[in-house]
Structure formats: structure tokens, C-alpha cells
Chains A and B, each alone.
Chain A
Amino acid sequence: MQFVIIPGSELPIYRQIMRQVTDALSGGRLRPGDKLTSQRELAEQLVVSPLTVKKAYDELEREGLITTERGRGTFVTAAAAATDPRQQKERLRPEVRQLLSRARLSGVTVEALAKLLVEEEQHWNTERDAQS
């Protein structure tokens, strides 16, 4: 799996790594049993401190999404497949908060925002149908 990090962001690099793993899991790009890039390798690939990568992997392991088998590597756990929809929802909370604060500043109501979401989804679906 490929990772991209952006220094200078308000999201710490270890969180950026974690988020990409969880996004790949919910999107099905990572499946139980898949092997992750080793910590050292990922540190060199991304040019970030090995301690930062370790922190990301430790957190993911604590959440039960990955497991490290000594000498073999790091793998996606079986539990990672059965993601709780509630947890998925929680992951979106920070972005929703940001969106809400922007909406407030520009005087857009929550109702209008919800409508916008529905509109966008319809738009998305029509585009997908047109492609297939």
C-alpha cells in the first residue's frame, strides 16, 4: 500500500499514517491478512522518523487493527474487517466539525448543509451510473 504524508499540516504525521490505514481498511484496499510495509522501510520511504512510524503502528495495534508477528512482519487482523459502523462514523467527526464551523461562518444552516450532502450523493450516483 502507498502512503502520502504532508508535513506542515495541522494533523501530526503519525495520525496521517494511521488515517490512511483506516481509510484503506474501510475502503477494502487493505484486507485481513495483508502485510504492511515494515516500520523501517516506511520511515525511509516517507523520510520521517522511525519513531513516528512506530507510534502510528503502535496505536493501530492498540486499536486491534494490525498485529506484529516477530520475524514475519505486520499484518492486518481479522477483527479489522468487521469495522463497526459507529467507529467509521466517529472517524469523520473532525471533518464534520470543520465543515460545520465553515458553514456557520458563512451563514449556511445545518439544514442547507444536509441538503447539500444529499444533492452531492445524487450527483455522485448519476455520474457512476453514466460510467457503467
Chain B
Amino acid sequence: MNIIDFENIHRAYHRGADVLNGVTISIEAGRVVGLVGKNGAGKTTLLRIAMGMLEAQQGAVRLFGLDPRREPLEVKRRVGFVSEDQILPPFMKVEQILDLHRGLFPTWDESVAQDLIVRFGIPVRTKVKALSKGQARQVALLCAVAHKPELLLLDEPAAGLDPAARREFLETSIQLLNQLGTTILFSSHYMSDVERLADRIVMLHEGRVLIDSELDEIQEHYCLALVPHNGDASRAKLVSLDGCLGVRERSDALHAVFNLEPESTARLLEAELGITDSLCNRIALEDMFVELAGGQQ
């Protein structure tokens, strides 16, 4: 059974454009999936639907086979959630927050909690409002993992943290993966974090899944073709080719991303469009993101 299933999820905001427009993703146990896409692509909306904080207008979401809107308690007991804008009660002391969680979760493991308190150096007698942003995020992470959830949902967990705090966050996540084998779905704008933590990547674009792939596949089986403006190469012609994921018009050339190896792409361009002067190269994750999510020039 899958840990999480999104099936044809639609969600629009009142009078606004669609945020999610038919999203289907399934995640098996033990996988770590990085959810990427530019701001407004629908990442947060999707994670909130998984948590039952928002309802899908069409489609279904199941966690462990359960509907998070119908069985919220059962689902929340088995999930850990951290989000960028999570607000902990400012006038509570950290230890009071920990007490609260300890009472809520029957599976709370005090040794995990104590380990992280020591590791992060969390001042438990301090009030939340006196914590730094990084410390507050660490408390949120601690609360999300100490009950040993089967699934972690992290919405931009590293946003706003300095590089050292971000790394510490990653290190902790990896140790938890080692110890507990938790399934993780996390959104992030930091491609190097995605590369370190994830084994699968899902890219949302304009409310749909543009890429759903093993992480290594991107570097091994995708390429960026630079097609000079001369001749009659055009954006429309490139987009219509099989395997083309997106094209950007830039001043130097047309930038086209293909789900093909560089050699095959060059052959395809020559055979279909008679283009012989394209430059096709493998692509790093960050560049792929920019090419697909970035605007036209």
C-alpha cells in the first residue's frame, strides 16, 4: 500500500485561477520525495490538502488509505508536519509545548526528543517568542518527529534559515531516515538540499505535475539544448517535439529542455527540424529548474 496517494486533485481559490489542476502523485513507503516548483505552483496547497487543512474541490487524497478530512485524528497521529509559517504559541515555554505534544501522541518517544534537545541545544525553559527563527524551526521539527511518524510532510522546512542551520536540519533529517526509515514529502527551493535528501523529484508547474522522476534520471537522461535563433527554429516547433518539456526564448538562443540524452536530442533536432548547430548538454538540477520555471526574456 502507498503511504500517500493524491488522485486528480483540483483546487482553486475563490475567483482566482486554478492552483492545482489535476495532480496525481503516489508515494510508496520509505521514499523521500522533493516537491519543487516556483512560488505559486501549488506546493503549499498540495501539502495542506494532505494534512486535511484544505479540501480538494475534485479528486481524492489518501494517507495510509485514510481520508485526512474524515479521520483527522488517526491521520495526524501518524504524520509529522513542519511548515515555514508554522506559528508556535509565543507565550508558551518550549517545555510546555513538549508536554502538550507528549500528551497528544501515544507513540511519543522521549529518547528521540531528548536526543534532539541536546543536539540542537534547545533552551527548553525559554518562551517561544524569545527563540531565534532557526531555534523555533528546530522545536517544530522535534515536535514533528518525536512521535516517530510514518510520514513527514515538510513545507519549505529550511526557508529563512542560515546555511549552518539548514545543514543541521538536513543532517538531522538524514539521521532520522537512517534510524526510522520515515517516508518524507518535502517542498524546497534549495536544489542542493533536494539533491542531498530526495531520491525522487516532483516538479509542479501551472497546477500540474511537469516532472515526476527518480532524481538521478534528471542528470542522466535529461538535457538542455541551445538552439540558435537563425534558420526557422521556433519555440512552437520545439515544443511540439516528443520529449520536449519546455522552451525559453533567450537572447543567445532558444533554450529547450528534453527528457532525452544529449546525443538523442541532437539527432532528433536534426531529423525533425533540420537543426544541425544545436548544443546539447546534460543539465544540473538547479539549471533545469530555472529553465522550466523561469520566465521568457
Q: Decide: A51 and B196 in contact? CB cutoff 8 A.
A: no
Cβ of B215 and Cβ of A12 under 8 Å apart?
A: yes
**Contact yes or no, A10 B219, CB < 8 A:** yes
Judged by a CB distance under 8 angstroms, whether A8 is at the interface is yes
Q: In the complex, which residue of chain B has the Cβ closest to the Cβ of A105? A: B279
Question: Shortest CB–CB separation between residue B287 and chain A, in angstroms?
Answer: 9
- Contact code string B57-70 (vs A, CB < 8 Å = 1, else 0): 00000000000000
Contact A49-B171, Cβ < 8 Å, known A8-B284, A11-B219, A14-B216 = no
In the complex, residue of chain A having the shortest beta-carbon distance to the beta carbon of B34: A49
| Residues 173 to 210 of chain B near chain A (Cβ within 8 Å) | 174-175, 177-178, 191-192, 195-199
Chain B residue contacts of A43, Cβ below 8 A = 174, 177-178
- Across the two chains, which residue of chain B brings its CB closest to A51? B199
Interface residues on B, range: 20 to 34
A9 to B174, Cβ gap below 8 A?
no
- A52 in the interface, Cβ–Cβ < 8 Å? yes
A10 vs B138: C-alpha distance in the bound complex, in angstroms? Answer: 32
CB of A48 within 8 A of CB of B178, answer no
| CB–CB A47/B174 < 8 A | yes
Find out whether the CB atom of A44 lies under 8 angstroms from the CB atom of B178.
yes
Residues of B within 8 Å of A50, CB to CB, are 174, 177-178
A55 vs B157: C-alpha distance in the bound complex, in angstroms?
A: 26
Q: Does A13 contact B (CB under 8 A)?
A: yes
Of A9, A12, A44, which is within 8 A of B175 by CB?
Answer: A44
**Option from A8, A10, A12, A40 in Cβ contact (under 8 Å) with B178:** A40
Residues from chain B with a CB closer than 8 A to the CB of A107 are: none
Known pairs A47-B171, A49-B174. 18 more at Cβ < 8 A? A8-B192, A8-B286, A9-B219, A10-B284, A11-B219, A13-B195, A13-B196, A40-B178, A43-B174, A44-B174, A44-B178, A47-B196, A49-B177, A49-B196, A49-B197, A50-B177, A51-B199, A55-B199
